[in-house]
Structure formats: C-alpha cells, structure tokens
Structure 1
Amino acid sequence: MRKIITNTFMTLDGVMQAPGGPDEDTNSGFEYGGWSVTQWDHIMNEAMIEAMKDPYDLLLGRVTYEIFAAHWPLLKDDPTADLFNRINKYVATKSLATATWENTVLLNQNTIDQIKSLKSTDGIDLQVHGSANLIQSLLHQGLIDQMNIWIYPLVIGKGKRLFGDGTVPSNFKLVKHAISTTGVIITSFEQNGRIPIGSFAS
C-alpha cells in the first residue's frame, strides 16, 4: 500500500494559501502571496532535501497542479524541475479533461475512489504539495498517513486554511521536528487514532 504524505507551509493562524509568490493564488482577493519566501534558511533547505530524497509521485489538487504546470516545465537544468517533469502527477479534478504536462494522470471520475484505488496499489509514496481543498477531502476520508507541516511565525487572518470548517476530529503523533533560525517550526505528524478524552476535575 502506498503512503499519502502532505507537505504544507502554514501560518500560525492556519493559512496555507499562496506561500510562494504574489500571483500564486489570488483567489478571494488574497493579497499576501509570497509570505513564506523571506523566511528561508539552511535548516529549511536541509529539511526539504530530506523530505524529498526518497522516490515518490505527486498527488495534487487542480489549482496547485495548474500552478506547477505553468512553472516547472519551463525550467531547464533544475533538479526539482527535472524530477517533477519526470515523475507521475496524479490530479484530483472535476473540471480538467485534458492535460499537457508530461506524465499527468487525471483523476476526474469518482476522484476519491480513484485515490483509494491508487493508494491500495504497491508502489512509491504519493506526496501532496499545497492542494488545500484536496487535503480536506483526504482528511475526511482518513487517507493521509503523514503530514509535514512547516509553521511560520506570522498571522494573516484570511485565506485558505489547512484545517478548515468540517475537519474530522483526529489525534496525531509528532514524529519529527526542527526549528529554523528564522523561527519556522518544521514538523512531521502521523495519524494516531481517536482523540483521547480526559478531565482535570477531581
């Protein structure tokens, strides 16, 4: 069975929209695109290399896929671009009927069932980058095995959030963490059953 691993840059108030640039995702008038860029340091670079070193395919929502497809195929002699262009890209979409980026597979029928079937096969991990709406669906179905969440020391107040309304209550176990010189908390969580309930009352 293949693991589904999400990779998310997130503010302290849970916003994950458009971390990479002003024009990345302006949906709903979002004006703070690029909020993660100036926080980068060598610790984060090493953590990213570690997270991406093992073979994987991409599982993406439509919006993130279109952002990637407009960027990575244009880069030459770039290791990440070479990797992303070569590996399989599985896209959860209800609206795309065709795709021109090489090695793209559209999951545009019964998408969740298609993802479940894909996950049940033998093969390399499936990494999700961005894809806020897709993550909500995967959480609701209990399909995520590991969540890599980078928490940035800033708040925005509006925008797409990692844990939106309707998120299924879940318990997680912290399996890895580090802190950058800029105050970014780099974490990895795994699903850990139901929420344990207790009381401080005597």
Structure 2
Amino acid sequence: MSTFLTLDGVMQAPGGPEEDSDNGFAHGGWMVNYWDDQVAEAMGDLMGKPFDLVLGRRTYDIFASYWPHASQEQGAEPLNRATKYVASRGRPALGWEKSVLIEGDVAEGVAALKQQDGPELQVHGSGNLIQTLLRHGLIDEFRLLVFPVVLGSGKRLFADGTVPAGLKLVQSTVSSNGAMISRYEPASEIVIGSFGQP
C-alpha cells in the first residue's frame, strides 16, 4: 500500500479539496505544494513496474475521473493499463477500462487475488479499504510518504482499532521539501520491555 501522510498521520484528501470533505475536512490539497523531484521519482519507481490496483470506491472514483483523460507525460499509461479491482458496498458502474468489482467479502477477495499469478497489487489512498486489509494482515509492504505538515484532524492511516504490529524499515530517504519517503515490511509482534530497575 502507498499513501501520502501528514506528520500526525492524516491521509485524507492530499491532492485537493474535492477529494474528500467528510466531517467538514477543510485542508484538502495539503500535500500539493510539497511535491518535488524526489517525490516524483519515488512515485515513478512505484509505477515503473507492472502492477494492478486494489482501490476503495472513493479513490476509484477520483482516479477514474482523472486518469483516463490524462496524458502519458502526466503518468497515465501505467494506471490505465492496470486492472482495477474495486471494493464497494454497492454495485457501482465501473466505466474505467479494466475495472472489476470485488464480489463478496473484500478481505477474502483480496486474499484470493494475492494467491493468483500476476503483477504486484498496489493500494493507493483508499483509507477505509486499508483499515480492512490491516485487520486481516493482507499488506506486505507499506510505502509511506510523510510530509512536514500537521493538521490535527482528518482520516488517519493508523486509526483507532489498528492491530498492533511491528514494522521493519526497508528503505528511507528525505526529499528536498522535507518529505520522508519510506518503505516498511511487517516484522513481528510488538516486543514489550522496560527501562525500570529490576
């Protein structure tokens, strides 16, 4: 999974006010002015190999309204070429080419997709879907781009109810605008210790 985050863990509406104003969120577009060459390179690396997408309904709608009409220079080709597996509680019309509704239980559907031959499965944004995948241990890698901004409110990646787990840092760099670009893998259960005297 790949997502843009604030330092206080907010992932809601990084790219613009129209993305998600749930609960009166007034900071949509908070990430746009931090985009720089290193962030662009990280996203290019992520999308530079074959992949398919697993998306929540809101993220799918945002992507589907933009990427089919975007140019190759804007990076549209990999996204348009990918199969889009969509998690939704309803029966939406999926007009973006190569879009498939995940039928039945989402966790079971994603687990089944992971067992198939095919390219890497990537989740972008999709906050509600990510919470489901976290609860079922279905995320193999976290690609987090954390930007130097604090919002105080908004939908968080690791929200209340997140299953406690250890992570292993695989790679990390900092962009010229202060974004921390990191990759983590699930490691183990949390090991508890104490600095107290025996």
TM-score range, shorter chain: over 0.9
1:17 aligned partner: 12
Find the residue that maps to 1:168 and give its secondary structure: coil
CA drift at 1:36: 0.5
CA 191–161 in structure 1, closer or farther in 2 if over 3 Å, else same: same
- Are the counterparts in 2 of residues 93 and 106 from structure 1 also a CA contact under 8 Å? yes
Q: Give the AA of the match of 1:86.
A: R
Q: Percent identity?
A: 49
1:104 aligned partner: 99
- Are the counterparts in 2 of residues 94 and 109 from structure 1 also a CA contact under 8 Å? no
- Separation in 1, partners of 2:48, 2:130: 22
- Separation in 1, partners of 2:182, 2:172: 4
Per-residue Cα deviation, 1:68-105 (whole angstroms, up to 9, x for no partner)? 11111122444522221121000111113431111001
CA drift at 1:27: 1.5
2:62 aligned partner: 67
TM-score if structure 1 supplies the norm length? 0.93
1:189 aligned partner: 184
Find the residue that maps to 1:71 and give its secondary structure: helix
Find the residue that maps to 1:176 and give its secondary structure: strand
Per-residue Cα deviation, 1:45-83 (whole angstroms, up to 9, x for no partner)? 222212221111001001100111111112244452222
Number of aligned residues:
197
Unaligned residue ranges in structure 1 (runs of 5+): 1-5
Partner of residue 120 from structure 1, selected from 93, 115, 119: 115
1:35 aligned partner: 30
Kindly report structure 1 stretches of 4+ aligned residues shifted beyond 6 Å.
Answer: none
- Separation in 1, partners of 2:129, 2:92: 18
Partner of residue 85 from structure 1, selected from 61, 80, 84: 80
- Are the counterparts in 1 of residues 10 and 156 from structure 2 also a CA contact under 8 Å? yes
TM-score if structure 2 supplies the norm length? 0.95
- Are the counterparts in 1 of residues 5 and 146 from structure 2 also a CA contact under 8 Å? yes
- Separation in 1, partners of 2:57, 2:77: 21
Deviates more, 1:38-47 or 1:129-138: 38-47
CA 76–142 in structure 1, closer or farther in 2 if over 3 Å, else same: same
Aligned 1:173-184 pairs, distance under 5 A = 173-184=168-179
- Separation in 2, partners of 1:31, 1:115: 32
1:3 aligned partner: none
CA drift at 1:144: 0.3
The answer to whether residue 56 in structure 2 is matched with residue 58 in structure 1 is no
- Separation in 2, partners of 1:93, 1:177: 33
State the superposition RMSD in angstroms: 1.2
